[in-house]
Amino acid sequence: MSLVTTDWLEKNLTNENIKVLDCSWHMPNTKRNGKDEFLKEHIPGSIFFDIDKFSDPLAKFPHTIPTSDLFENLSSEIGIKNSDHLIVYDSLGIFSAPRVWWMFNYFGHNKISILDGGLIKWKNENKKIENGPEKISQKSQFKCTTKNEMLVNIAQVKENINNKKFELVDARSKGRFDGTENEPRPDIKSGSIPKSCNLPWMECINPISKCFLSKEELKKKFEKININKSSTVAFSCGSGVTACIVAKAFEIIDGKNFSIYDGSWTEWASQPK
């Protein structure tokens, strides 16, 4: 059950095995702050999951996946247990929650579901909202079992240009991919990684309901970009967040394995010329 509906969550909010995480994160050019917005409104009982905090503090690029030790410590601090069924959502419908879904899967915790439609759908249905700080339960002892195959690095991406071991799908807008639209980070030029293809993340989401498109609709989106169905697939974007949306869409179709290029275009475009 990798996606749950708002009605399902409403019925299961009091289940002691359920933990709800507000994973709201915003692009740097929006001037919005996920934690500030969480304090004003969130789904009852939610805990705020800070994507930037759950990142490697020594990394050169934004919100790089942390070490397993750091992820264990931070998850334990907010009371997450290996027995918990995590429900992740964000304030934009489907945007940053898939990143957290991927992170937990990468660290071996697959008891995690995305709230389809997120906070937008929840509010549109007039379901209950809370405000103020979260109530953190007792510190836990969360443990990771890292799945290294769910991550690719820049060396693998460079090698892949010549040996094509996997398909690389870029989740950014067509303009950013083609180099005709500016990147949100002013020091980064737009463009694309050689031999990658483009499926903008927005095309995987219903613009009205903010839910993922149906399985059949998503299947057609992937058929249009003509990737090799027998190949493994990796996903990239600007900095590793929206790549996870398209990766989730790919997983919805038939549950195939995938990986994320975490450094994504920000790392690629920052290489010395």
- Residues with a catalytic annotation lie at 237
Name residue, tokens 């439609």. 117
Name residue, tokens 């809370």. 130
Separation between Cα atoms, residue 129 and residue 117, nearest integer Å: 15
Other C-beta atoms closer than 10 Å to the C-beta of 182 total: 13
With beta carbons less than 8 A apart as the criterion, state whether 212 and 98 touch. no
Other C-beta atoms closer than 10 Å to the C-beta of 91 total: 23
Separation between Cα atoms, residue 145 and residue 219, nearest integer Å: 31
Name residue, tokens 């489907």. 94
With beta carbons less than 8 A apart as the criterion, state whether 248 and 255 touch. no
Separation between Cα atoms, residue 161 and residue 25, nearest integer Å: 31
